Amino acid sequence: AITGYRETERGLRGRAGRALLLRVSPAFPPRRPPRPSAHVLDLLPGGRVGPHVDSVKFCGCTIAGLSLLSPSVLRLQSLRDPQDWLELLLEPGSLYVLRGAARYEFTHEILPDEDSFFGGLRVPRGRRVALIFRNDPPGKNKSLPGPPSPTG
């Protein structure tokens, strides 16, 4: 589903990691905090993230993505009715959050550069880095601590 990319998982340790987790934690339910790591997706200018729904085996009820470097267009499309879709402009520094129907009932994708338009205007896409935060599915790692405190 993804082409033209590199990816890795990074633990969020130290002052900067704790600060980042503290900033994204409000996007997650209080008893379902984000994992203390981020999935780092480095998408080349010609790369794309095809339409998909993240696996319920590996991801919980909330997915949040911090967009960096280049604007991009995120498309959500209904699994039941493909005519029902929405596109969002993700500016660098923006955080998108998928939960509820957006998480489970819609695919999401990052449009490739040649299809990258928003509101009729071209959105040229360069290299895009995203930090993806997820919580665990029910029953997995129930002993995870809550969000970090501001002092660590």
Place 141 in a pLDDT band, splitting at 50, 70 and 90.
low
pTM recorded for the entire structure: 0.86
Place 69 in a pLDDT band, splitting at 50, 70 and 90.
very high
Place 66 in a pLDDT band, splitting at 50, 70 and 90.
very high
The CATH class that applies to domain 2-134 reads mainly beta
H or E stretch covering 101: helix 101-104
Determine the Cα–Cα distance for residues 107 and 142; give it in Å rounded to an integer: 27
DSSP 125: -
Mean pLDDT score of the chain: 90
Q: What is the mean pLDDT of residues 55-67?
A: 94
User: How many alpha carbons lie under 13 Å from residue 55 in its C-beta half-sphere?
Assistant: 3
149: pLDDT strictly greater than 90: no
Q: What is the mean pLDDT of residues 70-89?
A: 96
